[in-house]
Structure 1
Amino acid sequence: MTSSSSAEPSTIAIVGAGPGAPDLLTRRAEDRLRAADVLIWTDSLVSPQIAALAPEGCERIRTSTLTLEDVLPLMIDRARQGLRVVRLHDGDPCLYGALSEQVCSLADAGIAVEVVPGLSAYQATASALSAELTIPGVVQTIVLSRAGGRTGVPEAEDLSNLARLKASLCLYLSARHVDEVQATLLEHYPADTPVAIGYRVSWPDQWLNVVPLNQMAAVSKERQLIRTTLYVVSPALANQGERSKLYSPSHDHLFRPQAS
């Protein structure tokens, strides 16, 4: 690790670690990790195997017991020393990652930020099930949201309003409120709508199952799921093979014009 008090502030990389498995990192994320002088990481949610990709001499700062007011001065101090700082988030930093506050505070301090996206848990869940969440004639919209909980959501985004769409609904941070969530969803989705319940998807201790909506709460409580749990509520999970028009012989487009 090298530093210089007269160096220009370095650009801080806010990096998405993806859902958990190290081999689901993007190549750019791995590059930033392997070059890091300072790793500030969400140790309560990010796999230690991913943090271990940082160099041996890298300063490692765990954030599970820290507030943003604790973390930001550290980021600013190390960046002003010219050190390569990686702030490592679980999943994708653009989704429930406190990204906005960090970017704004760092901008106020005159420090540039690079955001490196990460695979999100809903994508890893659908892939683990070999499932498409946008089936022609069934559902063409994916909604990412969460239960209101302690921090609430804007009134227009109340779960009941989202459920009326009957889209593929991916709910983060909602396991503690599963009874209320299930009751709300049952007002709009049929009781037998498939729900994928994913716990620590892509980790070695992954648990993933698809249950009817009316069993969502009971199964969650039986498994004692209260965190790192994702729900994917979607009629697409019951797909019986509806076909996309894109590859149909009867559908022409720019690269496959209709035969004359």
Structure 2
Amino acid sequence: MIHFIGAGPGDAELITVKGMRLLGACDVVIYAGSLVNPEILKYAKKDAKIYDSSCLNLEEIIEIMRKAHNRGQDVARLHTGDPSIYGAIREQMEKLNELGIPYEVCPGVSSLTAAAAVLKKELTVPGVSQTVIVTRMGGRTPVPDRESLKSLAEPKATMAIFLSADKIKKVVEELADSYNPDTPAAVVYKATWPEQKVVVGTLKDISKKAKEAGIDKTAIILVGDFLEGKYEYSRLYHTAFSHGFRAAGNSCGKPGCREGMP
């Protein structure tokens, strides 16, 4: 079995319990060495064969998987963050389908949610934004014209821009038609790593601040009023809001739900 595992954003303790268990049970480990914290490899078997995929192409990665499968060995394919977001796993899975090799995907903690945690912010704030747009600037890997930042910016939703720190000046220019220059913005470099950097500002100065901090890769750009300003309280815990577990103005009535309260 091939296990695609989200290794988390950086902190070795942010791999999931299931991911750690699978990693410790596999005979072969292929990890994205340019992005995955090598500290996570401490959870691997002591005698596991470990490969760094940063110096391998797709065919070489699949061949390692094929040979391991033929030997009856399980393989851990470690991707940074959550493998479903810019993980380049679809082509690997399709190759395995062609070979008839079984696989599964174990989700992980994305650098997006890690960056929000570092900033101590909620991405979906009532009365401000209930939509998160995850995107990137086009580069060596292009994006469809319909997904240009300029087009995506029109709803003024929470923007999470990956793989674009080296183009942050262009990012700001693309957002300028929809977002006010005073819109809060942040850049988080290597969230949860020891070398983590956080830059906070507005669209009018975030490019300059990121450049001064030396951030031009391995960072996520966050834009939107969710970072600062007025918002509405969630109705979930409002005393006048009822739902299936609580009537308006009352607790759910379950034993212990108000334990310790006056």
Q: Where on the TM-score scale, by shorter chain, does this alignment land: which range?
A: over 0.9
Per-residue deviation at 1:259? 6.3
Equivalent residue in structure 1 for 2:24, among 16, 27, 34: 34
Q: Letter of the 1:131 partner, please give it.
A: K
Distance in 2, matches of 1:223 and 1:25, equals 28
Q: Letter of the 1:254 partner, please give it.
A: G
Equivalent residue in structure 2 for 1:123, among 109, 113, 117: 113
- Which aligned pairs between 1:229-248 and structure 2 lie closer than 5 A? 229-240=219-230, 242-248=232-238
Distance in 2, matches of 1:76 and 1:15, equals 18
Equivalent residue in structure 2 for 1:203, among 175, 193, 200: 193
223-232 or 11-20, larger mean C-alpha shift: 223-232
Q: Letter of the 1:118 partner, please give it.
A: G
Residue 87 of structure 1 aligns with which residue? Answer: 77
Q: Structure 1 regions of 5+ residues with no counterpart?
A: 1-10
Distance in 2, matches of 1:161 and 1:76, equals 42
3-state SS of the aligned residue for 1:119?
coil
**Is the 8 Å Cα contact of residues 127 and 231 (structure 2) preserved in structure 1?**
no
3-state SS of the aligned residue for 1:232?
strand
**Is the 8 Å Cα contact of residues 195 and 231 (structure 1) preserved in structure 2?**
yes
**Is the 8 Å Cα contact of residues 7 and 40 (structure 2) preserved in structure 1?**
yes
3-state SS of the aligned residue for 2:232?
coil
Equivalent residue in structure 2 for 1:146, among 110, 124, 136: 136
Give runs of ≥4 in structure 1 deviating > 2 Å.
Answer: 239-242, 257-260
Per-residue deviation at 1:223? 2.1
**Is the 8 Å Cα contact of residues 40 and 85 (structure 1) preserved in structure 2?**
yes
**Is the 8 Å Cα contact of residues 200 and 206 (structure 2) preserved in structure 1?**
no
Residue 122 of structure 2 aligns with which residue? Answer: 132
Equivalent residue in structure 1 for 2:40, among 50, 54, 57: 50
3-state SS of the aligned residue for 2:198?
strand
Distance in 1, matches of 2:60 and 2:133, equals 33
**Is the 8 Å Cα contact of residues 149 and 177 (structure 1) preserved in structure 2?**
no
Structure 1 residues 169-197: Cα deviation after superposition (integer angstroms, max 9, x where no partner): 10100012111111111221111111121
Equivalent residue in structure 1 for 2:91, among 92, 101, 104: 101
- Which aligned pairs between 1:175-186 and structure 2 lie closer than 5 A? 175-186=165-176
Distance in 1, matches of 2:217 and 2:60, equals 24
Q: Letter of the 2:110 partner, please give it.
A: S
47-56 or 241-250, larger mean C-alpha shift: 241-250
Distance in 1, matches of 2:70 and 2:177, equals 53
Q: What do you get for the CA RMSD once the two structures are aligned?
A: 1.4
Distance in 2, matches of 1:42 and 1:57, equals 19
Per-residue deviation at 1:218? 1.1
